Structure 1
Amino acid sequence: MTSITPAQLVMLAIRKLRCGALVTLLLSSSIAAAQSPRIILDVADAAVSRGIDERTGVTVTLTAESRSSFADFTAKYIGRFIEVRFLGQVIMKARLVTEITGGKLQIVPEANSAAPTELAHKLSAPGTKIEVGLFAE
């Protein structure tokens, strides 16, 4: 079985569908999003907290293994915009201004996310994972 590259997939879709620029744009965007750097992190604990700006948020503590992975990720992408996802929903977007080595994230939930208390409760469940990835600026 031969593998197909994302570029070949887009070209095939253009040839097969011939539905115009919108289909090409949608496919290209989906492929780009799927290829953007992202990592899955294991959550050790989560608790309601106040950020430096006094907004209520959630402090997420990562497992030791995830702490190392997150430190590597943040070191590599300083200055870039990231999004944090939980159960497929974006719960925060931010710009990385420094490497994060301590294994803690201060999440101030997006307006469409759960309230901090509810989010902390869900994130502190055993086996919880979050996804962190780059997003287009």
Structure 2
Amino acid sequence: MNTRILMAAALAGLCMAGQAGAAELITVGGGSLHFERDLGHNEFNYGLGYEKDWDDELSWSAGVYKNSIRRASFYGLVNWYPVTLGGGVRAGFTGGLMSGYHHSPIIGTLMPTLEWRGEHLALQSFIIPSIKPYIDGAVVLQLKYVFSR
């Protein structure tokens, strides 16, 4: 069976999964600051994604963005926030699969994550570790819009 059909079916299943009334968000990409400043990376990483909460600690997200080596990257991620810091801030980890990087069509990732979520806006920050030769590390800031609760 065609891989694209399987991926679309899996994404549709994820869209229907989750708690009724859980928050839904649109992500619009953001910016990155790379640890190795002399490599000429793209640090304006626009994109479009969808995120949905499973519960108070877990959410999943999928989307596409222009990565730091100026390629399209598709991603499927799970966010886990076991620590609530107050004021809408929570901390945890994000892990999943991403495409479009050096030497591999798809790479796995696990990143420390911090999120602030307000009534309609949210900011999420990741620390992407350097995994040579596949990916160069960075701190990323992503903007989200909460369109449903």
Task: Give me the TM-score of the superposition, normalised by structure 1.
Answer: 0.30
- Structure having the higher helix fraction is 1
Higher gyration radius (CA): 1
